[in-house]
Amino acid sequence: MLDESPRKLVQVEDLRLYFPIHTGVLRRHTGDVKAVDGVSFDIFEGETLGLVGESGCGKSTVGRALLRLYDLSGGKVRIDGTDISDLSVGELRPIRPKMQMVFQDPQASLNPRMTVSEIIGEPLVEHTDLDAAGRQARVLELMDQVGLNRIFQNRFPYEFSGGQRQRIGIARALALNPKFIVCDEPIAALDVSIQAQVVNLLEDLQDKLGLTYLFISHDLSMVRHIADRVCVMYLGRVAELSPRDDLYANPLHPYAKALLSAVPEADPNAETTRQRIILKGDVPSPANPPKGCAFCTRCPEVEAICKTEAPALREVAPGRHVACHFVEIQNRAGSTGPKKPEAIEPNQQGERA
Amino acid sequence: MPDGALPVLDVKDLKTVFRTRGGEVHAVNNVSFHLQPGELLGVVGESGSGKSVTMMSLIGLLPQPPADIRGGQVMLGDIDLRTAPAEVLRGVRGKRIGFVFQDPMTSLNPVFTVGSQIMEPLRLHMGMTKAQATERAVELLELVGIPDARKRLKSYPHQFSGGMRQRVMIAIALACDPEVLIADEPTTALDVTIQAQILELVKDLRKKLGMAIIWITHDLGVIAGIADRVMVMYGGQVVEQAPVKDLFARPQHPYTRALLKTVPHLTGARQARLQVIEGQPPILTAHPTACAFRARCTHRFERCDAENPLRRPVGHGHDVACHWVVNAEVAHA
Ligand SMILES: Nc1ncnc2c1ncn2[C@@H]1O[C@H](COP(=O)(O)OP(=O)(O)OP(=O)(O)O)[C@@H](O)[C@H]1O
Ligand SMILES: Nc1ncnc2c1ncn2[C@@H]1O[C@H](COP(=O)(O)OP(=O)(O)OP(=O)(O)O)[C@@H](O)[C@H]1O
Ligand SMILES: [Mg+2]
Ligand SMILES: [Mg+2]
């Protein structure tokens, strides 16, 4: 039988990434920050998976772990069929051009002593046989693609605004025609008109080159625009993974509901009447996560079981994965809303504030 | 806010130029604006339009050289910050004016603990003892939603996520109860539930402390939710300013109009493709003698090339720098 489903370019299985905590004069290993604690998902070839969630929940760490910028604490990462979980630096080298990253912090990721054309051309020196003239031509092409004026090529990063610096980072990531790009808040520092240009550019490149993206962002309106599926993380774990339209029309996980209700709308009249779910309680620390469900300390729908048992991520409807004790598996005719009687209707989540 | 009240901050004709190897960059060109007591002024504008440089210039935080502040007046009450001696400025910064800047990694010092960085202004400006400053620092970290606040005082910035570092910066800015808070994209790196908390916090602090705030952001949603008035910058100039509802309902400048159309929405039909503003930001190598937006403007005519438009009133508290708009107004009158 022919396998008709799209190919999985990225496969992540029970990924764990712990940062050790050392304390005392002897710097003894006394615990771990469980930045990523058992995350599984696939990314299909040519798709964009949005990754959203609380500040500090481990999104960047997932992105960096997928590219093996860290050694994994557990789990498997497969890129384009190759298991890269345990590869050495040398073994990773030929695979690196396939996978690239656009960083969250443009300031920290650009070498201040290199000119723009050196920065963009650096991966070409390392990974291609292009001569100086060939590299130069490619650098200028990349600068055009990301909307950087060619006359800036010999300037240094500090001479640019935050937004301009981010475009330099994107040009560099595109240099080697990668298959998979982790975009870690790539447009957060850009002004909205440039965001639209960059997002259109990312979409054009995806169409043209069949690129696959992990798009990490806190801009849920933009994620709705660009992503095919969306993964909502909370404290190192996946809370919900759903196709875009399902998630935005009817978020199932209580955290996903709160998240969507908190998005500001660009309309001052709507903003004065809008009701939100303002989450209470502390954001737990990943060094000391709560027992049971990671979200139980802030969840408006919390029950006793949530404080003792961690809910597994289950497929509750076709393509919809939710980690919540109170989201029922959808029966053929029924809805997928929470089963509690006071459960809110889809799209009415704002009324709970 | 009564229109007649004396502004807490009054900026007139601020002009900042950078001298670079590639020539001059005219980053801020005769920017004038005022901030009323208790008011929240939202600032939006093109990346590179001079929002950050304007704010850094007015509190004297730009290294000179390469920056050269060529003119202007920055009145904080009756002190002109532009000409005030360095020690007066030091007493103002972090005390009367608190600020949070873009790129938290560059603003927090990586070699000092988070706690010591929060306590520094408290000891310097408020004369607190170490114990008092520690208590206040814990309170401030809790205020901005950092869990385990007391323990986290001993952490270094790299041990925090981007969002947590930004909340630390907000805590530092609020430390001395400033009259004016300048926040340069303070919630850009934050998750929206935390942003919602911080926006609530800001609304609260304004009520309690009557603080006046300048809030720079790219997020028109945030502006819609918290600003009283909005100032739109383009090419180192203020091209439009208006009360928030007026700006969203009746944007006048062609740049503002285009800007409002480029944002995707959370509800309603998804656009197949986002609307963009074609072309590139202007290269500011000299003082502008023509409209900075003309190369990207669909309404351009001869006058736009010949003369840089000045801001003219087009409504109550609403003014705009555009020859086309002013012409249309005249035609309607
Ligand atoms: N090098 C490190 N050493 C110790 N802890 C770390 C390190 N890097 C990240 N962490 C911790 O791991 C957790 C996840 O961090 P990460 O940067 O992945 O979050 P994030 O979801 O990208 O957040 P943000 O939205 O703020 O960027 C945080 O608690 C952070 O403090
Ligand atoms: N140190 C510097 N040397 C030369 N030019 C500079 C320097 N700092 C800023 N500029 C230039 O000044 C202009 C204004 O920059 P600024 O950082 O104020 O923009 P911004 O409006 O804050 O943009 P963004 O939204 O991207 O943060 C830009 O054209 C920038 O390239
Ligand atoms: Mg991150
Ligand atoms: Mg800026």
Closest CA to A214 of A40, A12, A51: A51
A347 pLDDT more than 50: no
**Which strand (E) or helix (H) includes residue A30?**
strand A28-44
A344 pLDDT more than 50: no
- Please give the Cα distance from B203 to A179 (Å, whole number): 45
The verdict on B276 and B128 lying in the same domain is: no
- Please give the Cα distance from B325 to B318 (Å, whole number): 12
Report pLDDT for A353: 34
* CATH 3.40.50.300 for domain A8-227: yes
Q: Which residue has the higher pLDDT, B170 or A330?
A: B170
Within a domain: residue B190? yes
Q: Which residue has the higher pLDDT, A126 or A276?
A: A126
Whether residue B191 and residue A53 make contact (CB cut-off 8 A), yes or no, is: yes
Q: Under a CB-based contact definition with an 8 Å cutoff, are residues A168 and A106 in contact? A: yes
Of B22, B224, B274, the CB nearest to A200: B274
Report pLDDT for B168: 87
Ligand nearest to the CA of B165: 1
Q: Under a CB-based contact definition with an 8 Å cutoff, are residues A203 and A226 in contact? A: yes
Convert A145-182 to b/e letters by CB count within 10 Å (16 or more is b).
Answer: ebbbeeebbebbbebbbbbbbbbbbbbbbbbbebbbbb
The verdict on B90 and B140 lying in the same domain is: no
Within a domain: residue B68? no
Report pLDDT for A337: 46
The verdict on B271 and B241 lying in the same domain is: yes
Mutation for B interface: A51, A158, A187, A191, most B CBs within 10 A: A191
The verdict on B315 and B189 lying in the same domain is: yes
Report pLDDT for B308: 94
Share of chain A above pLDDT 70, in %: 87
Instruction: Please tell me the distance between residue B146's alpha carbon and the centre of ligand 4 in angstroms.
Output: 25
A vs B: CB pairs below 8 A: 186
Lowest mean pLDDT among B33-47, B144-158, B287-301: B144-158
The verdict on B89 and B229 lying in the same domain is: yes
Of A218, A225, A279, the CB nearest to B264: A225
Smallest CA–CA distance, residue A82 to chain B, in Å, is 30
Within a domain: residue B267? yes
Report pLDDT for B232: 96
The pLDDT tens digits for B208-245 are 778 899 999 888 888 998 899 999 999 999 999 999 99
Q: Which residue of B has its CA nearest to A147?
A: B280
Q: Under a CB-based contact definition with an 8 Å cutoff, are residues A80 and A121 in contact? A: no
Of A57, A195, A268, the CB nearest to B245: A268
Domain boundaries, chain A: 8-227, 256-353
Q: Under a CB-based contact definition with an 8 Å cutoff, are residues B42 and B229 in contact? A: yes
Structure-token match 């970290």, residue found: B141
Instruction: Please tell me the distance between residue B29's alpha carbon and the centre of ligand 2 in angstroms.
Output: 13
Of B20, B44, B103, the CB nearest to A159: B20
CB A163 near ligand 2, within 6 Å: yes
Share of chain B above pLDDT 90, in %: 44
Please tell me whether the interface predicted TM-score (ipTM) of this complex is above 0.95. no
The verdict on B161 and B242 lying in the same domain is: no
**Which strand (E) or helix (H) includes residue A143?**
helix A132-145
- Please give the Cα distance from A199 to B276 (Å, whole number): 10
Q: How confident is the model at residue B124 (pLDDT cuts 50, 70, 90)?
A: confident
The verdict on B120 and B85 lying in the same domain is: no
> Residue range B66-89: average pLDDT?
90
The crossing angle, in degrees rounded to 10, of helices B114-126 and B162-174 is: 10
Report pLDDT for B95: 86
- Please give the Cα distance from A190 to A307 (Å, whole number): 40
Smallest CA–CA distance, residue B169 to chain A, in Å, is 15
Nearest CA to ligand 1 atom 20: A56
Nearest CA to ligand 2 atom 3: A159
The pLDDT tens digits for B19-33 are 988 889 999 999 999
Which range marks the domain in which residue B113 is found?
Answer: 98-175
Number of domains in chain B: 2
**pTM value?**
0.77
A249 pLDDT more than 80: yes
B258 pLDDT more than 60: yes
Report pLDDT for A345: 42
> Residue range A3-19: average pLDDT?
89
The amino acid sitting at A200 is: N
Smallest CA–CA distance, residue A131 to chain B, in Å, is 27
Smallest CA–CA distance, residue A132 to chain B, in Å, is 23
CB B241 near ligand 2, within 6 Å: no
Nearest CA to ligand 2 atom 22: B52
Q: How confident is the model at residue B3 (pLDDT cuts 50, 70, 90)?
A: low
Q: Is the four-CA dihedral A49, A55, A59, A60 of positive or negative sign?
A: positive
Q: What angle do CA B244, B74, B287 make, to 5 degrees?
A: 85
Strand pairing report for A314-317 and A320-322 = antiparallel
| CATH number for the domain harbouring residue B246 | 3.40.50.300
Q: Under a CB-based contact definition with an 8 Å cutoff, are residues B239 and B224 in contact? A: no
Q: Under a CB-based contact definition with an 8 Å cutoff, are residues B265 and B67 in contact? A: no
Q: What angle do CA B195, A43, A177 make, to 5 degrees?
A: 95
Q: Which residue of A has its CA nearest to B186?
A: A189
Whether residue B147 and residue A285 make contact (CB cut-off 8 A), yes or no, is: yes
Report pLDDT for A341: 42
Cα radius of gyration rounded to whole Å, chain A? 22
Report the mean per-residue pLDDT for chain B: 87
Nearest CA to ligand 1 atom 19: A56
The verdict on B171 and B226 lying in the same domain is: no
Within a domain: residue B1? no
The pLDDT tens digits for B149-173 are 899 999 998 888 766 787 888 888 8
- Please give the Cα distance from B118 to B113 (Å, whole number): 9
Within a domain: residue B291? yes
Task: Give the CA distances from residue B102 to residues A61, A295, B198, B297, in Å, rounded to whole numbers and listed in that order.
Answer: 22, 30, 16, 29
A52 pLDDT more than 60: yes
Report pLDDT for A348: 40
CB A155 near ligand 2, within 6 Å: no
A334 pLDDT more than 50: no
Q: How confident is the model at residue A4 (pLDDT cuts 50, 70, 90)?
A: low
Closest CA to A84 of A59, A64, A101: A64
Distance from CA of residue A6 to its chain's centroid? 21
The verdict on B189 and B311 lying in the same domain is: yes
Cα radius of gyration rounded to whole Å, chain B? 21
What's the first-to-final CA gap in chain B, in angstroms? Answer: 30
CB B53 near ligand 2, within 6 Å: yes
Report pLDDT for B118: 92
Strand order of the β-sheet with B23-35 is: B23-35, B9-20, B67-76, B79-80
Mutation for A interface: B192, B233, B261, most A CBs within 10 A: B192
Q: Which residue has the higher pLDDT, A106 or A269?
A: A269
B75 pLDDT more than 50: yes
Report pLDDT for A106: 63
Within 6 A (CB) of ligand 1 lie A 19, 33, 35, 55-61, 104, 286; B 159-163, 189, 191
Q: Which of A18-27, A127-136, A196-205 has the highest mean pLDDT?
A: A127-136
